Every structure is written in structure tokens, then in C-alpha cells.
Amino acid sequence: TCLTHRKITSNGRAILSDLINCTTLCLRFRFRFWQWGKWIEVRVDDRLPTRGDRPAHLHCAQPDIFWAALLEKAYAKLYGGYSFLKYGTVGRALQDLTGAVVQSVPPSGPLLGGAVPRSTLLIAISGVEKETKRRRSGLLTEHPYCVTGLARVRANSTDSVTHGSGSSAGDTSLIRLRSPWIGGEWGGVWCGAWSERSWEWNALNERDRELLSSRSSNDCEFWMSVNEFLTRFVVIWLAHIGPDDWALEPGLHTRAPWRAALAVRQWRAGFNAGGPHRFIETTATNPQFRIRVPPGHPSKAHVVVAVAQKYECYRSRNYEDEEIGFTIYEVPPGMQRVTPQYVSEQMPLDFAPLSNLREIATFFALPAGDFVVMPHAAQHREGRFLLRIFADQHTDVWEVNEENLVIHNIAADFCDERTIDARILYKLRTRYPHEIDATQLQAILKAHGGTNRGFRGLGGINCGPSLELCRGMLALRDPALGGRLSIEHVPALIGLMRFWKAAFRRCGPSSSGTATLSRGIWASKVSSYCLRGLLWAGGATASNKVLEALVSRFTRNRQITLEGYLLSMARLHLAHERYHSLDAKAKASPLSLEEMILMTIYS
């Protein structure tokens, strides 16, 4: 009823698109339903199940109108059969038919004033009274009613009827509803105060009655006071229509559209599956999305945040396997990303607790400032999710992400001749050829790791850098790609490795890793959730996509060793050097720095 009132059935993407294809034998109908961020087309024929000479399931009162029965048939096909429809809910049906962000809330006056003026459909569910199918007031019990408008009646005023939900002394706020039934025994039309036969209605002057009647364009629409509405209805379903669907529906153009941001992401264990805010050390690794409400607006910004997990429509139950939620923090304007330290010091502005629902949505009224939304599942739980944020037009929304940078070119410092120990270089020249390969570099590090002061702490006889790491370090000083390294570059590479190892030692093995006495720092392990901080300590930053690739490539069991960290830093530096060494003609190609880094990581 709500959807047909908004004329979505006539030309909208939500229900009917290219309705009828005629053939010589039968009619075929195409319906579109929204499933996890996209519209799915379902085709059905014109054959309907019957009981006697009438349709067996949903049907219209007029015997020659079949759109409702055909819609139900397509919807049943989407879910696997008519028997599965009994497990559905009002919210799920609204989302499947409209693609909206749907949430259920208890009735309240401020909520009505914030949602009605926007492109949001409101469905109110009436309560139960004394186990009767219909109250004396005319309302049907446990039935949906569409909220179609608000008005305010002012006492003792020439212009006594205005649009809106605000009120002052002597004013009466009214709400307009539409019954799901048109005429008949179960009309479901309100017969109490402010109905067309009530004394409150008759007490209005003729001009006011005509104005209110003109707004009630349908026979099954009626007015009632907001206070009466709040006592007789138990829940309101809000369906926030996105801007794309709003543009296709002329019936919604009288309402203000939302500004939407949509992102399909995934939680990966060891990377961004940090869990709820009670996990202080890891929750800051969850995906972060920034909401900025600029100052200068008299009222608060209305924002809707919705997180949906990946689901399948062929289900026989209302609940999903996984639990999802989100947390929202208010942050200073200069803070780029929420950190573990900030989480430990500040309480979240609000949060949606973990629930095994298909989608969790919350309506906020935010003041001017910066806010960060962090969707999350259970800690270390992997899965895909869809985040949708609807906000007022003056609100900005974006994903928090870092650039791929080498903040300080530390490698260049270690190539300076002033930092090279002449005695070390002399010993290397007397024992090794002018150019060495990766195997010889590994032998140098292991042979001199425990005895030479210049190489102290890099390795030993039974531990130290692997051959793969030595190949990665060699590539940093092999622009000709010959697989060999000049002996003069060895002390610089050793100094660079020592710097990275010191950064690794500062950031975690003492607190979040374990080390053995036999293998020392090379056997230490740090939580892979700390990799972003490790990169920063080593003089580099990485985007979310690159960081995810590093976690996938160089970590194991949600932990990263010193070997993996050194490989990560070597690959990042190599990708930056290769990209910036390209000539102008090569840079004209569509290859980006991020793509270069990703190819280098998996090489």
C-alpha cells in the first residue's frame, strides 16, 4: 500500500520494470528486486496458483487486476517458493522492493519531524487491544499504515493550518495516515478525534477543512493527532530511499533527497577484522569512514548509517549466521584516523551492538564536527559487508585512507659515503668479488652477523635473513636487473636493515609478540594488526588496499615476523623506486603507483 501510494509500481526500478512482454502463447512479466546493493531481475509467466476459481494467495478485490498476485509469485520465486514467504518481515520486504535503508524504531514526535520531510517512507504498525481484529476506533490491529504527511492546526488564527510537525502553545499536531484497505468491512479508517465525522473536525472553519481534505487525496486517508498516534501505534518502519531511486520517482520529488555514500568492503582476519570497541588494541584497524558536518547550519545534520552483511535470499529463517555492528566516534578535525590510543581514552559517541541480522541501521542527528564510523563483525571474523551512509546535502562522507608514500627516503641516507665503515668495506673487498649475488649476500650477513661490530644484530650461523629477503634487498641496488650487487652497496643495505629492525623492535615484540632465546629477534612475532604502525615507524605509509596485500603476502596466523616486515619494507621501497624511475613516456600509461606496488608485492 505504501509503495503504490508513492507510484513506485508504475515506473520505478523497485518493483516493475518493462512489465509486460507479449508473445503468442502467454504473457511474461519481469520484476526487479534489490539484493545486497544491486537489482536482480526475476521473470515469471502469467500462470497463477488457484483455489477454486480464485487465486490461492495474494489477490486484488477486482477480479480483472492481477499485478499483486504476479508480484507475489515473482517474490516467492526469488526466495524459493511460497512457503518461504512466511519467514519474511515488513522490513525485509520493504528493502527488497525499494532498495531502501530500512530500520524499525518506536514512534516519537521528533522522529516524525525529521523523517517525513525527506525521501523516507514511513510504515506504522498498529498495536493489539483485547484480542480483537478491529478496534472501535476503526483501526486494524497489527496492520501497517502508511504515514503520508504532517500538519499543525493553530487555535484562534486566521491561517490556522500549516505544514510541519513543530508546535507551540494551543497548537495541535496532526498526522495523515493511509489505510491498507480500501472500503469494505475491513476498511481500517480512523473514526476517532480529527476524523471527518468527529467534533474536532467539525469545529474547524470551512477553509481549514477544505485545506486538510485537499491533502487527503485518497478515500482511505485520514487525519489523527500525533499524541493519539503515539499511543495507538507500537513501531515505525523507516525506508530511506537513496538519491538514484529518488530521481526516478516523481512522487518523491516533493521531499528532500538524501546524499548517499556506498561502499562494498570485506573484513579480513589479521588486517581489519578488529571487532567491537571493547577490543582496544585491534578495533581501530576496522574500516573507517569519515562524516564531516560543517558549521553554519541552524539545525543538526540527519545521518543514516546502515551496515549489511553478505546474505543469500534462498533462506528459510530471519537471522544470518554472522554478527555485525558498527561504532561511531567524534574526533578532532586534525585527526586523520582513529588510533588504539584514542579508543582507550575516549568512549564512542554511539554504537550498534553485534546482532545476527541482515542489516543494522541507525538514524542520527549530528551537530557540526567530524565523526568516524567503523563497521565491524566479531573479532577475527572474515566476511563481506555493504555500508550505506545517507546524510543531508551539506554533509561530506568519505573513506579514511592513506597515500602510498615513503615519508623519508632513508635508503638515500644510508648510501651516503660518510656513513660507510671503511674497515668493513675493506674486509669485504678482500674476501668477496666486486659484484655478488643474493646467495653471497646471505653468506656475508650470516658469517659476520655475530662477530663483526658493523653487522652486529643482523644474523648468525643458524639464523638471519633468508635468501628471499636477500634477493629483495639486492633488487634495491640493482637497477639493471642483472641479479648482482656491487660490494660497495653492502654496508648501506646493512644499515638500512638495522634501522628497520630497530623499528620492529620498538613496535611490538616486547608487548604483542614472542621471542625465543635460540633465534632471538628473528623468531619474534608481532600481531599483523600492528603492520600499519610498523610501516610508519620504518618511514612509509600504505593505502588500505596495499596494506591488505602486505598482510596477505607476508603474515601467517595473524602474525608477522621480522623477516616478513623486512620483506614488506623492501618491496615498498622497490616499487617506489621503480615507479619514479620511469620516463615521462612510460608514466603516460594508465599504470598507477598503487598498481606498481601491488605487482611488486606479488612478484
Per-residue pLDDT, averaged over 201-225, amounts to 82
What kind of fold does domain 410-448+464-509+519-602 have according to CATH? Recoverin; domain 1 (1.10.238)
Q: Residue 178: which H helix or E strand, with range?
A: strand 172-178
Place of cell 635508503: 411
Long-range contacts of 487-490 (CB under 8 A, 24+ apart): 487/425, 487/428, 487/429, 487/432, 487/433, 487/434, 487/435, 487/436, 488/420, 488/425, 489/415, 490/425, 490/428, 490/436, 490/441, 490/444
Q: Quote the distance between the C-alpha of residue 217 and its chain's center.
A: 39
pLDDT the model gives residue 23 = 42
pLDDT the model gives residue 14 = 41
Q: How confident is residue 452, by pLDDT bands cut at 50, 70 and 90?
A: very low
CB 270 within 8 A of CB 370: no
Distance from first CA to last CA of the chain, Å, rounded? 58
DSSP 190: -
Number of CB atoms found within 10 A of residue 454's CB = 18
Per-residue pLDDT, averaged over 329-334, amounts to 94
Report which residue type is found at 579: Y
CB 544 within 8 A of CB 550: no
Grid cell in block for residue 155? 487555535
Same topology between domain 98-156+170-240 and domain 258-313+322-400: no
Rounded to the nearest integer, the mean pLDDT of the chain is: 82
Question: Catalytic site residue 448?
Answer: no
Alpha-carbon distance of 530 to 514, in angstroms, equals: 14
Phi, psi of 471 (to 5 degrees): -65, -40
Confirm whether pTM is higher than 0.75: yes
Least confident of 396-400, 417-421, 568-572: 417-421
Q: Which of 179-183, 404-408, 412-416, 509-513 ranks highest by mean pLDDT?
A: 404-408
Q: How confident is residue 591, by pLDDT bands cut at 50, 70 and 90?
A: confident
Closest by alpha carbon to 481, among 598, 578, 379, 337? Answer: 578
Q: Tell me the angle at which helices 490-507 and 467-475 cross, rounded to the nearest 10 degrees.
A: 120
CATH class of 98-156+170-240: alpha beta
CB-side neighbour CA atoms (13 Å) of 531: 32
CATH number of the 258-313+322-400 domain: 2.60.120.380
Residue 12 has pLDDT above 70, yes or no: no
Q: How confident is residue 24, by pLDDT bands cut at 50, 70 and 90?
A: very low
DSSP 539: T
- Among the listed residues 57, 59, 143, 380, the single catalytic one is 143
pLDDT the model gives residue 411 = 52
pLDDT > 70 in the chain, percent = 80
Grid cell in block for residue 580? 619514479
Map out the domains of the chain as residue ranges.
1-87, 98-156+170-240, 258-313+322-400, 410-448+464-509+519-602
